[in-house]
A = this chain, B = another copy of it.
Amino acid sequence: MFKAIVYVTLRESVIDPAGSAVKTSLHSLGHDEVGDVRIGKYIELEINLKDRQAAEERAQEMCQKLLANPAIEDYRYELQEV
Protein backbone atom coordinates (compact mmCIF):
# COMPACT_ATOMS: atom_id res chain seq x y z
CA MET A 1 0.00 0.00 0.00
CA PHE A 2 1.11 3.57 -0.61
CA LYS A 3 0.41 6.97 0.90
CA ALA A 4 0.33 9.95 -1.47
CA ILE A 5 1.15 13.34 0.02
CA VAL A 6 -0.25 15.96 -2.36
CA TYR A 7 0.51 19.71 -2.24
CA VAL A 8 -1.88 21.93 -4.18
CA THR A 9 -0.92 25.61 -4.45
CA LEU A 10 -2.25 28.59 -6.33
CA ARG A 11 -0.22 29.66 -9.37
CA GLU A 12 2.12 32.59 -8.64
CA SER A 13 0.09 34.76 -11.03
CA VAL A 14 -3.15 34.07 -9.15
CA ILE A 15 -4.22 36.44 -6.35
CA ASP A 16 -4.68 34.71 -2.97
CA PRO A 17 -7.51 36.39 -1.00
CA ALA A 18 -7.24 33.87 1.84
CA GLY A 19 -3.53 34.51 2.10
CA SER A 20 -4.09 38.26 2.17
CA ALA A 21 -6.69 37.87 4.92
CA VAL A 22 -4.30 35.82 7.04
CA LYS A 23 -1.55 38.39 6.47
CA THR A 24 -3.85 41.18 7.64
CA SER A 25 -4.82 39.18 10.74
CA LEU A 26 -1.21 38.40 11.57
CA HIS A 27 -0.33 42.10 11.27
CA SER A 28 -3.19 42.99 13.57
CA LEU A 29 -1.77 40.49 16.07
CA GLY A 30 1.52 42.37 15.98
CA HIS A 31 3.36 40.21 13.45
CA ASP A 32 4.54 43.05 11.24
CA GLU A 33 7.52 40.94 10.16
CA VAL A 34 5.20 38.87 7.96
CA GLY A 35 5.35 39.50 4.22
CA ASP A 36 3.53 37.55 1.53
CA VAL A 37 1.26 34.66 2.68
CA ARG A 38 0.10 31.90 0.30
CA ILE A 39 -2.33 29.19 1.37
CA GLY A 40 -2.73 25.82 -0.34
CA LYS A 41 -4.02 22.32 0.32
CA TYR A 42 -2.09 19.49 1.93
CA ILE A 43 -3.74 16.14 1.16
CA GLU A 44 -2.81 12.70 2.47
CA LEU A 45 -4.47 9.76 0.80
CA GLU A 46 -4.08 5.99 0.97
CA ILE A 47 -3.67 4.08 -2.30
CA ASN A 48 -4.40 0.38 -1.94
CA LEU A 49 -2.12 -0.91 -4.70
CA LYS A 50 1.01 -3.07 -4.55
CA ASP A 51 2.76 -1.72 -7.65
CA ARG A 52 4.54 1.64 -7.31
CA GLN A 53 4.27 2.48 -11.02
CA ALA A 54 0.50 1.92 -10.94
CA ALA A 55 0.22 4.00 -7.77
CA GLU A 56 2.20 6.84 -9.44
CA GLU A 57 -0.11 6.81 -12.46
CA ARG A 58 -3.26 6.78 -10.32
CA ALA A 59 -1.99 9.59 -8.07
CA GLN A 60 -1.19 11.73 -11.13
CA GLU A 61 -4.62 11.04 -12.56
CA MET A 62 -6.38 11.99 -9.31
CA CYS A 63 -4.48 15.26 -9.15
CA GLN A 64 -5.38 16.14 -12.73
CA LYS A 65 -9.01 15.00 -12.50
CA LEU A 66 -10.05 16.28 -9.07
CA LEU A 67 -7.50 17.41 -6.50
CA ALA A 68 -6.06 20.41 -8.40
CA ASN A 69 -7.75 22.93 -10.68
CA PRO A 70 -5.36 23.16 -13.65
CA ALA A 71 -6.61 26.64 -14.53
CA ILE A 72 -5.31 28.26 -11.34
CA GLU A 73 -3.43 25.64 -9.32
CA ASP A 74 -0.18 23.72 -9.44
CA TYR A 75 0.31 20.37 -7.73
CA ARG A 76 3.13 18.08 -6.70
CA TYR A 77 3.06 14.85 -4.76
CA GLU A 78 5.23 12.35 -2.95
CA LEU A 79 4.55 8.64 -2.75
CA GLN A 80 5.48 6.70 0.38
CA GLU A 81 5.26 2.93 0.76
CA VAL A 82 3.45 2.15 4.01
Which A residues contact B (CB, under 8 angstroms)? Answer: 1, 7-9, 19, 22-23, 25-26, 29, 31, 33-49, 55, 58, 61-62, 65-67
Which residues on B sit within 8 Å (CB–CB) of A65?
A: 29
The answer on a CB contact under 8 Å between B47 and A43 is no
Given contacts A33-B49, A62-B34, A65-B29, contact A22 B42 (CB under 8 A): no
What is the distance, in angstroms, from A14's C-beta to the closest C-beta of chain B?
14
Min C-beta distance of A2 to chain B, whole Å: 9
Chain B residues whose CB sits within 8 angstroms of the CB of A25 once the complex forms: 66
> Chain B contacts of A38 at CB under 8 A?
43-45
Q: How far is the CA of A44 from the CA of B37 in the complex (A)?
A: 6
